[in-house]
Structure 1
Amino acid sequence: METVAVVLTLLLAVVASGALARFSPTPVPVPLVQIGLGAALSAIGDLGVGLQPEIFFLLFLPPLLFLDGWRIPKDGLLRDKGVILELALGLVFFTVLGLGFFMDWLIPGMPLAVAFALAAILSPTDPIAVSAIAARVPIPKRLMHILEGESLLNDASGLVCMRFAVAAAMTGTFSPVEAVGTFVWVALGGVATGVAVTTATTLAKNWVSRRVGEETGSQILISLLIPFGAYLIAEKLHCSGILAAVAAGISMSYAEQTGQALAVTRVRRAAVWDTVQFAANGVIFVLLGEQLPGIVSRAAEVVHDTGHHEPVWLVLYVVVISLALALLRFVWGWTSLQFTLFRAARRGRKVFVPGWRLVAATSLAGVRGAVTLAGILTLPLTLPDGSPFPGRDLAIFLAAGVIIVSLAAASVGLPRLLKGVELPPEPSHQEEEDRARIAAAQAAINAIEQAQHDISEGKIDADIYADIAARVMEAYRVRIDGRSKSGDEAALMRKAERIERELRLAGLRAERAELYRLARSHHLGQDRLRTLIREVDLLEARLTSV
């Protein structure tokens, strides 16, 4: 009963955090509000949440990484694959080495292996935290796509590096040759497992659906189970469960392109996954806030044992490490940019040359979040001989502090860095969209003509079918005519479409208000009300998603 009460309290705090962030007169990232609420809950009454690292890792990371892989734009991922790989792989190793040695020098008493483990888990970025800032700070789409793609891969590379560092701390030995071989197996095995689980599951459920029909609830539940299945199988094979979850999500996006799922399944599944994402991310940050007082007190004891008697050293460590992370990211980004410009010049290509402000914004947007927190909590409690794992409490505090500082710095600094900054031109997808809409409309017209012929053949009232088919096809012909135009005519047609959409939305909202009025006056039953409201909502969702 107490566990249920704790879960409900955490979810209530997540709900409240969204409202408080919107009420704030100044932009405040939702994760920061959630951390504050968690700390307030801890001060009001100890919830007694004991985080078990393995369960925490399994419960939160697979679905979040799976969804990131599922929804990330694949065209942007492929277009900027060079930049993304440089950030996701090269920057991670650069950060682990640079920050690891720096923290070993900075913090007395922290073993080098533990410093490397902390540096490795601080290297992954969190696009969800950046998205929370982007809701109020307009971040260029291409930059967001690069940050999202980076986070998909650097989660795995950072966590794999942490695994090696922890193994070195536990055994006291480290073999570079063994590490490389293990990394290859862990990476390739994780990717293969994720692809295999999604492919096998999709084939099986499609086979069942073709023979007995599709049940929406089962389809949604299957999609929720896939990331956990991929993660657990990969971990059982001693591969990367993180990469398995990411690969499963990317495979899911391609599997869904067959279009075999029912429309109602896709609509309801998207709503369920949005809720899972919102709740899981929110609970992680609320838990961070709830654990923060205990983390601070335990870290203060560790610092005291190293000879520093003032807790202010904790704050100093967090600030200095955050600055070092930003500096390493800026140096890597600037060096990588110069190398890219050099290669372009040798090939005779002209490319956009970003200024230092855009590079700085990219560095500042590398916000740490859920993956860092979940990863650092998996540090072992004890060494093989039963003694406490050295510096564990301090490492957890430093990771939590860097998360908070990076969120605050990005929310304050990004608006100033991006204000008036010169950005590379965004590719226009208008022509691509127009061609797709024209092709879809023509396919619809052909299908309607065939269907009208099939269902009206041999019937006396065939002219009724012909009139209705002509009426339906006319809407598609209007779309084709509008999308085929160019110049001023195209601009005028799109303006007309916007006006039509606004008028249709006004009509739909009036429909909904009238339906509710009829229900309140007992002129419409609840069953019919739900059906009619669902129809209006789907139509409005279609119009507002354009």
Structure 2
Amino acid sequence: MTPVSAAVWLLFLVVLVSSVGVKWRIPQPALLVLAGFLLSFSSPFHHFHLDSRTFFALFIPPLLFADAWLIPKRELRKNLYSVILLGFGLVFATVAATGFFVHWMIPAIPLASAFVLGAVLSPTDTVALSALISRISLPQRLVYVLAGESLINDASGLVSFKFALGAILQGHFTWADAGRDLLWVTAGGLLTGFVIAYNIHWFRQLLTHRGMENPTLQTSLSLVTPYFAYMAANSFGASGILSVVAAGLYAGVSDVRDLSGSLRLHAASVWNMLTFVLEGFVFLLLGLQLRRVFSAISPIPVLHLITYSLLLTTVIILVRMLWVFPFSRISWMLNRIHARNLPPPSWKSVFLAGWIGVRGAVTLAAALAIPLEVHGKPFPGRDLIIFFSGSVILLSMSTVILTLEPLARWLNIKDSGETAEEEQMARLEANQKALAFLSARAADETLNEHQRDLLNRIASEYVLRIRELEERKEGSDNVRKSLEEETAFRIQALQEEKRALHHLREEHRIDDQTLRRILRDLDLVEAGIRSYQPR
């Protein structure tokens, strides 16, 4: 099978499996990994292999960039201490605890190789985490902390992996060198990402000011931003992952502030489709690699392998639990320096944060990047490291999939509704400001009667919206029902327009170009109507 044919079939499978997941409310990551694993036994994909570096460079940058773009920056700042303690401190604790435990459990694996495994298993997976926790309503603060942690610990985990691997390849390790490298990798990656994102945003603004505000062109520039950030940082030894995260954080602020509405809408639709496809490919390819990973350990008794994998996964969960409880309190005390009224995190939320530690694509990509040989001899414990990586991915993902929803119900953990209230307040205040502006303009004596009638007609729509928002705040829904009826009638009228246009086309009274142009205008109107349906 050619690479193009394989890509087409894999894309079709992503769509098919995702549709099944949506229909039956089954987490798509689990279904896609399982589908990929089963597909690896078929003859066309039996020997399928994707180089880990190619996999990493192709799929991870845009997905991390999108997550960094979307994460609320205010909440990230408010929970910065929690994110740092999890994203850096927990990673290093996991590397140390896992390394010593694996070397004690299997003495045949040297301590240095055990630390390599610890580094591989230390980062949680951003893509898998987002896909799994989006299914249920969790407290927003918990969601933001976990999302921020997963963005940061990809970088710190890979830095730890680089140090552990370097100790084996070079035969020595010093804390001074490690500290300097960590500072360089972190600072260099962050700075590179900000510089790349700033310059691309400046270029996009320049095109806009020169009259070249083409949505396709502008969105294409946003698509290449994560790849430029990743390649630029890697080219001089800094963290490509942190560079992508920094670029996404900067773009998330500057795009919302400076881009026009048409550009944002176009970019959002393109990025939504791209992230859906890339996330699907990541989990499907992850499943495709697992058969080859597991087959490399066939000489070892299966019962021993299962026992080791279960023990290792348990240790990783215990380390996370033992870390989050004391350090959640420490981060809360640090956060109170800036926010005196910040309530302490409940033990239930802390427990859930400790339980949700999904491993995924970054772990497997790092494991597969381990060289076959070191100093002319086989890399010590490489096959076991790769096997344990695949096992922990499956076990951690399965554990969260099976237990997260019932555990959240049992602990009675759910979103408090603060985000919805904040959105309600923002909509109401924005509409009131707009109405005040229209009222002031209508009072302008230089306007003619026709202009004043136009302003009053627009103002009446805002009055209705404000009444609907105020009623929702008070728990009433009379205006909401009226707006829903109006929306339904408007959409029915638009559909009748579209049927008339298709009828004209069938009678050859208009051509395809005319049909597409008018349909595009009607589609935009319909999208605007549907987007404001009361929720």
TM-score, structure 1 length as denominator?
Answer: 0.87
Counterparts of 1:498 and 1:293, CA distance in 2: 54
Mean Cα deviation higher: 512-521 or 263-272:
512-521
1:503 aligns with 2:485: yes
1:393 aligns with 2:383: yes
2:36 to 38, 44, 69: 38
- Which residue is equivalent to 1:133? 132
Counterparts of 1:104 and 1:544, CA distance in 2: 58
The Cα of 1:517 is off from its aligned counterpart by 3.5
Q: How does 1:123-202 map to 2 (within 5 A)?
A: 123-202=122-201
- Which residue is equivalent to 1:372? 363
Counterparts of 2:4 and 2:35, CA distance in 1: 19
- Which residue is equivalent to 2:232? 233
The Cα of 1:177 is off from its aligned counterpart by 0.4
The Cα of 1:213 is off from its aligned counterpart by 2.5
Mean Cα deviation higher: 162-171 or 433-442:
433-442
User: Residues 27-86 of structure 1: CA distance to partner in whole angstroms, max 9, x if unpaired?
Assistant: 532111111111222212242432222211111111111111100011221222222222
- Aligned pair in 2 of structure 1 residues 272, 350: CA closer, same or farther (>3 Å)? closer
Matching residue's letter, 1:106: M
User: Residues 150-188 of structure 1: CA distance to partner in whole angstroms, max 9, x if unpaired?
Assistant: 111111111111111111121121111000011001100
The Cα of 1:241 is off from its aligned counterpart by 0.5
Matching residue's letter, 1:318: S
The Cα of 1:328 is off from its aligned counterpart by 0.7
Q: Does the residue aligned with 1:212 lie in a helix, a strand or coil?
A: coil
The Cα of 1:364 is off from its aligned counterpart by 2.0
Counterparts of 1:415 and 1:442, CA distance in 2: 39
Mean Cα deviation higher: 159-168 or 116-125:
116-125
Contact 2:293 2:386 in 1 (8 A): yes
Contact 2:121 2:363 in 1 (8 A): yes
2:474 to 470, 474, 491: 491
Contact 1:194 1:230 in 2 (8 A): yes
1:475 aligns with 2:474: no
The Cα of 1:194 is off from its aligned counterpart by 0.3
The Cα of 1:424 is off from its aligned counterpart by 8.9
- Aligned pair in 2 of structure 1 residues 490, 137: CA closer, same or farther (>3 Å)? closer
The Cα of 1:360 is off from its aligned counterpart by 3.1
Structure 1: give runs of 5+ residues left out of the alignment.
none
Contact 2:55 2:365 in 1 (8 A): yes
- Aligned pair in 2 of structure 1 residues 79, 343: CA closer, same or farther (>3 Å)? closer
1:77 aligns with 2:67: no
Contact 1:199 1:251 in 2 (8 A): yes
The Cα of 1:148 is off from its aligned counterpart by 0.5
Matching residue's letter, 2:7: V
- Aligned pair in 2 of structure 1 residues 33, 514: CA closer, same or farther (>3 Å)? same
Q: How does 1:358-507 map to 2 (within 5 A)?
A: 358-383=349-374, 385-423=375-413, 426=416, 428=418, 433=423, 436-437=426-427, 439-441=429-431, 443-445=433-435, 462-479=448-465, 490-491=473-474, 495-507=477-489
1:354 aligns with 2:349: no
- Aligned pair in 2 of structure 1 residues 209, 338: CA closer, same or farther (>3 Å)? closer
Contact 2:282 2:361 in 1 (8 A): yes
Q: How does 1:97-112 map to 2 (within 5 A)?
A: 97-112=96-111
The Cα of 1:139 is off from its aligned counterpart by 2.8
Structure 2: give runs of 5+ residues left out of the alignment.
none
The Cα of 1:501 is off from its aligned counterpart by 4.3
- Aligned pair in 2 of structure 1 residues 406, 200: CA closer, same or farther (>3 Å)? same
1:325 to 303, 316, 322: 316
1:534 to 511, 517, 523: 523
User: Residues 301-355 of structure 1: CA distance to partner in whole angstroms, max 9, x if unpaired?
Assistant: xxx3xxxx41332222221111111111111112224556888999998944623
The Cα of 1:245 is off from its aligned counterpart by 0.1
Matching residue's letter, 1:543: Y
User: Residues 107-160 of structure 1: CA distance to partner in whole angstroms, max 9, x if unpaired?
Assistant: 342222222122112121124323333344433322211110111111111111
Counterparts of 1:369 and 1:186, CA distance in 2: 23
- Aligned pair in 2 of structure 1 residues 473, 160: CA closer, same or farther (>3 Å)? same
- Which residue is equivalent to 2:18? 18
Mean Cα deviation higher: 234-243 or 36-45:
36-45
Counterparts of 2:464 and 2:157, CA distance in 1: 52
Counterparts of 2:165 and 2:120, CA distance in 1: 11
Counterparts of 1:489 and 1:528, CA distance in 2: 38
Contact 2:36 2:286 in 1 (8 A): yes
Q: Does the residue aligned with 2:210 lie in a helix, a strand or coil?
A: helix
Matching residue's letter, 1:518: A
Counterparts of 1:427 and 1:419, CA distance in 2: 16
Counterparts of 1:70 and 1:175, CA distance in 2: 36
Matched residue count: 526
1:514 aligns with 2:496: yes
Contact 2:63 2:127 in 1 (8 A): no
- Which residue is equivalent to 1:276? 274
- Aligned pair in 2 of structure 1 residues 96, 336: CA closer, same or farther (>3 Å)? same
Mean Cα deviation higher: 374-383 or 536-545:
536-545
Counterparts of 1:424 and 1:18, CA distance in 2: 26
1:543 aligns with 2:529: no
The Cα of 1:469 is off from its aligned counterpart by 1.5
- Which residue is equivalent to 1:256? 255
Counterparts of 1:106 and 1:521, CA distance in 2: 74
The Cα of 1:23 is off from its aligned counterpart by 4.0
The Cα of 1:426 is off from its aligned counterpart by 4.0
The Cα of 1:382 is off from its aligned counterpart by 2.9
- Aligned pair in 2 of structure 1 residues 512, 12: CA closer, same or farther (>3 Å)? farther
Q: CA RMSD, aligned part only?
A: 3.1
Contact 2:82 2:331 in 1 (8 A): no
Counterparts of 1:436 and 1:342, CA distance in 2: 30
Contact 1:125 1:154 in 2 (8 A): yes
The Cα of 1:215 is off from its aligned counterpart by 0.8
- Aligned pair in 2 of structure 1 residues 438, 412: CA closer, same or farther (>3 Å)? closer
The Cα of 1:294 is off from its aligned counterpart by 1.5
Mean Cα deviation higher: 434-443 or 125-134:
434-443
1:293 to 291, 294, 307: 291
TM-score, structure 2 length as denominator?
Answer: 0.89
1:335 aligns with 2:317: no
The Cα of 1:538 is off from its aligned counterpart by 2.0
Contact 1:344 1:351 in 2 (8 A): no
Counterparts of 1:253 and 1:148, CA distance in 2: 15
The Cα of 1:490 is off from its aligned counterpart by 4.3
Identity level (%)? 32
Contact 2:119 2:158 in 1 (8 A): yes
Counterparts of 1:132 and 1:198, CA distance in 2: 26
- Which residue is equivalent to 2:60? 61
